[in-house]
Chain A
Amino acid sequence: MKIDNRALIECAQRLAQACRENETALCEADARLGDGDLGLTMSTGWRAIASDSDEWSDDCSKIFFQVSKSLQRSCASSFGTLQATGFMSAAKYCKSNNLTQLSHHDLAPILDCAWKAMADRGKGELGKKSVLDIIYGLSIDLAKADIVDYKVAAKQSVDRVLAEYRDRPNGLGRARMFAEKSIGVDDPGMLAVKVLVNAV
């Protein structure tokens, strides 16, 4: 089943709204383990994406590239650059596979490319309780999902990964410096992805 590019624009508006509504909660979650600006990064970045979506083309490869550029222009933080990296990898996936319009079957391989590109850029790895684990989880779970259950499967996937890692220490980024304190606490980057998935 194809995903209409118009639907992507509407989705971007919903995600921007969700980030704005969750700005304080994400900042508070980040402040426990980092510098407390994650909510601002998410709301600023997705506001820019939604604002720029008026100029999106009909080519999903170019749309993902434009999302990446919007994030780069609006968010100087490393989480902004990591998200931009994920969307850039999606753009490259579409370009190299000559995709101009997405189908649901493309989501899992795109997410697989995204976590690998983000791991490479951030010098990170799986299993350290970071945003990489939740995107990897989505790539695995969506590959097995039935098309009619995609949104449900995605929500279940993020909850599964959050629960799996909650009682482990953080091993990447600034949060690794608070490894003991991070046990029993959700990773802020994972929570940011949950906000996005719930709004899709």
Chain B
Amino acid sequence: MTPTHHIDPLIPQAALRPPDEVMRLDRMGAFFPTRLSFMRTLIRRLSEEKAVVSRPVWEINDAGYGHAVYSLSLSGRIYSLVAFSTALPEDKRTDRVIAEAWDSSYVLFDGIPSNEDITRLQQNTPKQEAGRFKPQDLILSRANKSVRLFEHVVECLAAGKQPDQSLLLSIGYLMRTTAVYGNGKFGIADRSRISDRPGLQGPFQAEMLSVWLTRGFTFDLVEHVARSRSPETFVGLDRDSKRFLGIGNATGLGMAPFLVSHPTLINNWMLVRETALARVRAIPTAEATVVQAIRQLMDRATQHIKQWNVADTVQMAKIEQLRTEFATVVELMTDDWLAAPNPWDRLIKDVSSLSIECQELVVALVLEPHGSLIDGLTDCMASDEIPRLAPAMPLEKLKAILLENYGWALKVDLSLREETRLFWYVSEEKLEPRLGERYEEAGAEIEMPFDICRQVQDLLKDLENLPASTSVAELLLQHPQYRQIVRRIQCTEKYPYSEIRDNLIAGNCLPINMLRCKLSFFGASKFDPKSDRWTRINMYQGAPLFDEVQEKDADDWWLPVSGWTS
């Protein structure tokens, strides 16, 4: 099947990389942020609109506790971050989702909050899941301090010094979020409230806005506490240091099922990314300005991966291989090599023998200087469409789609215990997705339906015994249990990138790959896996500050490097 969506006859386009290549967990787990990522899209829009952030409320005491409100206008509407900073006993401090108290908590509010709104939010926001919210509350989140860095920065600024750059580099954020909730959770607004609003139509734009405003709050807070501690000697945090600090995040399994349960959305993300690459690959010659830009970007990428160090031995080995391989890519791209026809297509082909991590870094690299060609595609990344069943479809057609798009699932030998070793479930204590060991733990009988391979193989067996001309409606009359898998299979006909093409219950399934894929679309970098099931990341590292977003180069922050400013 040849995916044909997003083809604009006026824009030349190479062939898309097929879903069998792209939708594999090992490749998805090697994605890097690109200029199509959601944080980049938001910052571009804020920059185009010359957005101005105001701080109408600052009720924070000398110790750094209280509340603040930040407001800005985005595409004609005002949104406000209401931030609460609270004292947190050390024995209550944990990044786990099971935590019940945090250093700070936030609501992105639709409009300007009244005093009554702030009072209501003050009573509920610090409680997070235990609070109750209203449809004016768009996003709910919380963050804990990096105690080491926050206190170090306070001490330094109070003493009139800048913080230790090596500590900034190794941590990279003053606070890290442990959850950012949207779409109706705990009574906040459903996505449908904002899905048609300019500025928030794209995926996760409200969440990204909330996190960017939160980042600004962390700078104000750390400076406020330092100034209060020693007003005479206080100095502000220098601009370069602020620019390098993002917002940390600990992300676990809760994020992984999203990619399975939103097939049309994940298709659109992937399809846009692949279409952008196909457009770039079709460029016949590299313009001088682009060559100059790509050389600067290669320098930056080299520095970025040099500064990317993690404790995880598997990921660190990949990073070291990436450093070596990317150096060969840089060497390869001489002036003569770049001057020859179809440079970007040749580049993608030439790196295909290197590690997937290097291949995907090069994909992100070649997209970066081609904004005018590809940025418009980001308008196609949202989807609120629910996959619909096609009951009239003859079974011969259903079978053909299955054989075309699920060959990967049919190859799995389900008689091997290793291929069914894991099961996904919802935990009783926090209602969060978890992974269990099927042959060692209880609960597999009520697993989440992520056993796609097994469902596909069972369905195919029954399809073999039914007349080809029979309709899907007749099949479901006899076998209603196939309703979901039939819908998924039919969905792949129109949305070829809607299914992860790997066995999600195999013993060797690494959920960390799903997390990195989704987080790369957010625009996160510095992936720091802490196990095969959760990772730390950094969001908005290198992004413009509140007073920089209006500047011309506000979009130039792909792969941030310590000590670098655009």
Is the A/B pair a real complex? Answer: no
A contact set with B: CB distance below 8 Å: none
